[in-house]
């Protein structure tokens, strides 16, 4: 299937189209797609090796494993497409078929860009993440040459045509879900032109821009940690006191003893 035939105006149509994931996988094999994939893997290589746990879940837009650099033992993916190509589950990210607090790391590879229910997707991620778990988000930067090109008038639609969100808005949403932002990095500073020559000359300052982390990269990576702590009931162990210690107040006991001493003294000295 041609790549251009599956990129519609609506991101919902992209997700519901059975050929969308295969088309995105094909696009990542183009010169521009390979350049973007290299930049995204470079960003993830700085983050995933420092995130530990037992289970890592990827929700993405293509049949690409983006978690190879992670030391987590069990790594799997879910996708809308029934043609899994090595993915673990066929499901929607807005309704993850997993138990509460069952995953240590969730990697969203452009899942927010092509989701029609972005808030619900983040809420589902928060639900399945354990306390102290991490979410890693890779998305297209609307304030870049990639994002600006999607605003040009015309009928041509680009593979990165979706509901692009800024890092500021995503950070605000994550904070409302009790996440702490740990890292924001940018990458892919080449122009979005599918030509090897254009990619080569527009990437001359790629290393410098990446080192300075300029916020004009075509993609961003956000890493955040879930701060919600489990509520553990505090059990108070009550100590039983002897019955002799429970009775008349101390001040009243002292007054009574002093009266008894005075009466005994008066009886001895009439």
- For residues 194-230, b (16+ Cβ closer than 10 Å) or e, as one string? eeeeebeebbeebeebbeeeebebbbbbbbbbbeeee
Highest mean pLDDT among 74-83, 131-140, 243-252: 131-140
Q: Which two tokens stand for residue 239?
A: 């100590």
Q: Rounded to two decimals, what is the model's pTM?
A: 0.79
Q: Which two tokens stand for residue 229?
A: 């702590």
Residue 177: its pLDDT value, please? Answer: 95
Is 190 inside any structural domain?
yes
Residue bearing the bigger pLDDT, 91 or 53: 53
CA–CA distance, 228 with 130 (Å, rounded to integer): 9
Is 270 inside any structural domain?
no
Highest mean pLDDT among 36-45, 157-166, 236-245: 36-45
Is 74 inside any structural domain?
yes
Cα–chain center distance at 45? 16
Residue 149: its pLDDT value, please? Answer: 83
The mean of the pLDDT values for the chain is 81
Count of domains observed in the chain = 1
Is 47 inside any structural domain?
yes
> Tokens 């702490």 map to which residue?
180
Is 253 inside any structural domain?
no
Residue bearing the bigger pLDDT, 99 or 15: 99
Mean pLDDT of 78-104: 79
Confidence of residue 95 (pLDDT cuts 50, 70, 90): confident
- Give just the sign of the alpha carbon dihedral 7, 10, 12, 17: negative
Residue 226: its pLDDT value, please? Answer: 97
Is 238 inside any structural domain?
no
β 219-226/129-140 pair status: antiparallel
Residue 1: its pLDDT value, please? Answer: 47
Residue 195: its pLDDT value, please? Answer: 84
Residue bearing the bigger pLDDT, 37 or 84: 37
**Percentage above 90 pLDDT, the chain:** 49
Mean pLDDT of 196-215: 85
**Residues of the domain holding 71:** 3-226
Is 234 inside any structural domain?
no
Tens digit of each residue's pLDDT (9 = 90 or more) over 141-153: 999 999 888 877 5
> Which CATH number do you get for residue 17?
3.40.50.150
Is 231 inside any structural domain?
no
């Amino acid at each position: 299937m041609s790549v251009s035939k599956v990129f519609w105006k609506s991101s919902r149509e992209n997700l519901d189209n059975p050929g969308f994931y295969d088309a995105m996988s094909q696009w990542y094999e183009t010169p521009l797609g390979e350049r973007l994939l290299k930049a995204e893997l470079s960003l993830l290589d700085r983050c995933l090796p420092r995130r530990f746990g037992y289970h890592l879940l990827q929700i993405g837009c293509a049949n690409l494993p983006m978690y190879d650099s992670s030391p987590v033992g069990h790594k799997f993916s879910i996708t809308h497409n029934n043609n899994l190509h090595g993915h673990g589950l066929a499901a929607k990210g807005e309704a993850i078929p997993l138990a509460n607090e069952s995953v240590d790391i969730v990697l969203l590879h452009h899942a927010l860009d092509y989701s029609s229910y972005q808030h619900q997707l983040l809420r589902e991620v928060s639900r399945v993440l354990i306390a102290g778990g991490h979410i890693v988000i890779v998305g297209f930067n609307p304030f870049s040459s990639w994002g600006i090109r999607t605003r040009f008038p015309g009928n041509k639609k680009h593979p990165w045509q979706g509901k692009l969100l800024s890092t500021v808005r995503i950070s605000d949403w994550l904070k409302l879900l009790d996440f702490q932002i740990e890292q924001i990095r940018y990458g892919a500073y080449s122009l979005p032109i599918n030509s090897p020559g254009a990619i080569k000359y527009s990437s001359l300052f790629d290393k410098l821009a990446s080192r300075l982390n300029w916020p004009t990269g075509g993609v961003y990576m956000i890493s955040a940690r879930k701060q919600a702590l489990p509520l553990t009931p505090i059990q108070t162990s009550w100590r039983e006191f002897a019955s002799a210690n429970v009775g008349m107040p101390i001040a009243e006991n002292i007054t009574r003893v002093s009266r008894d001493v005075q009466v005994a003294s008066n009886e001895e000295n009439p």
